[in-house]
Structure 1
């Protein structure tokens, strides 16, 4: 494992507080002439941008453009790292050796960092994407590999992930700041994990339900699980998926209702 300076060893948890929430979205998820997310419009809503770093989506031109747009709007930039899986959009299960995964995580962060610095800002945090995100909820070995990749950069970057995940456990153990995340448009199990996308009802598609769930997560730290039982999910950041139909309008509705209900929307870093 790479060593880092004392700032990293002094890492802390960025606590969740009822009534305060960061809004993050997955952006830059295009490649060449193909685009998926309305980056410009979503950057007028969110406070943090998870930028694809080329392994599940994104390319050099896209990364540069999104970093420039985010910097101009004061939106924090996060490296959304993933398995090397362009064809499967990073959502296919893969087995990658730990040393290889650590190197590829560092590579992705470094690539995005070039464009963030050129835009006058920096990479402020790291969030895994897709299959990697789900894998490191319960897989300690892959979680440690992701953390090792962050440490390889030499920067004590906060790690964004699911509450109670092995990823946040590994990050905290390495002295990195950890940030808990919730989803208004994803169904939860009674254990607080996400229902796999392949199952019916895994994605909440009713806009009214997404808004209601988002406000409940931000204000009360709770959500109704797939079983109908209310569970505790305390998070400092709320993800708004940018690749769903009507994503911009829905994101605007969520933010407007959060602010109307007295929630303070602000970045965690």
Structure 2
């Protein structure tokens, strides 16, 4: 008997790169096919959902299976393509497990771009963008969004700011404590293009703080009186932004 494939958290959704539309045939890559066939025990006639970040979300039916491959055909569109608010997260990377967690949760919170930045106090010297993308895809599949955030290569803070788009506002999470609270600062803001900037363990150094504050379109804010971990600070700022000026309103 055919059934909708699901897991304890909900309906099974997969991100694919193939075009989606009525009658579109999708041949899954080997890893996804292995998961469907050997973990989910999928069979011909079972249904699942696809999204690709361009064509919305589609119900598809498995039509062919083999030892290492699986093919499904799109039947109907469930959701049109929508986009999350124009919000970037520019963050100093932290050690592996917090970085994985940060990528997953930022995806759930609706970030459009994840941009790692190297600062003078950044401990991590290399960023595995493939690992970040895998975490982002998994989080998008489980959270119900129909897009995956863009994962950008890590760049030095000064180089990023040198080519910063003039129209994009910067929400600078300044740990020095001499900025207004993030809630007060954002209370009258509505939408637009934004980027949240958060620093490494130890924070931005004085020269970097001065560089950020000197940007034409920057809003320095405080996240309160307690010391937050780098990943906690980033997720807190994203949550407040979404609540006050994003798509949580």
Range of TM-score over shorter length: 0.3 to 0.5
Larger radius of gyration: 2
TM-score (norm 2): 0.37
Structure with the greater relative contact order (CA < 8 A, sep ≥ 6): 1 or 2?
1
TM-score (norm 1): 0.35
Greater strand proportion: 2
